[in-house]
Amino acid sequence: METIQIRTFLEKDFEAVQQLNEKEGWSGLVERGEETLCSWLNSEPALVAVVDHELVGFLRGLTDGSITLYICDLLVKESFRNQGIAEKLIQTAHECYPSTRVEMLASTKSEGYYVHQGYRSFYGFRKSAEEM
């Protein structure tokens, strides 16, 4: 495998991020493009994984810098999965805030990956903006 570069998200990366969102079926993020870009520009950490100048994965997080690092979005292009890219994105994000715990939501599709990586499940609730 080529060398994986993990770096900070740049606005010029947004089109590639949206292409991965669309391919994954995350249509809400694609349809709300302006809000999605705003979320990226206001998130910390916001990281991308690049292989041979191709954006192949990303992580968008929120943190208080001390207690919690919440991973909002984590996605790796299907043809690049099982190569340690997601783990490297999470590790890099956590290195920015090493005293924080890491929390994230997972789908039933990705649950097995997180359990295999040693994450514990926890219980939470969600309402969309439209439901408020």
Structural class in CATH, domain 4-131: alpha beta
Within the chain, how many helices (H) and strands (E) appear?
5, 5
> Residue 85: which H helix or E strand, with range?
helix 85-96
Residue type, 23: K
Q: In this predicted model, what pLDDT tens digit does every residue of 92-117 receive, in sequence order?
A: 999 999 999 999 887 778 888 888 88
Q: In this predicted model, what pLDDT tens digit does every residue of 55-70 receive, in sequence order?
A: 999 999 999 999 999 9
Place of tokens 């993020």: 29
Does the predicted TM-score (pTM) go above 0.85? yes
If one compares 11 and 109, the residue with the highest pLDDT of the two is: 11
Domains of the chain by residue range? 4-131
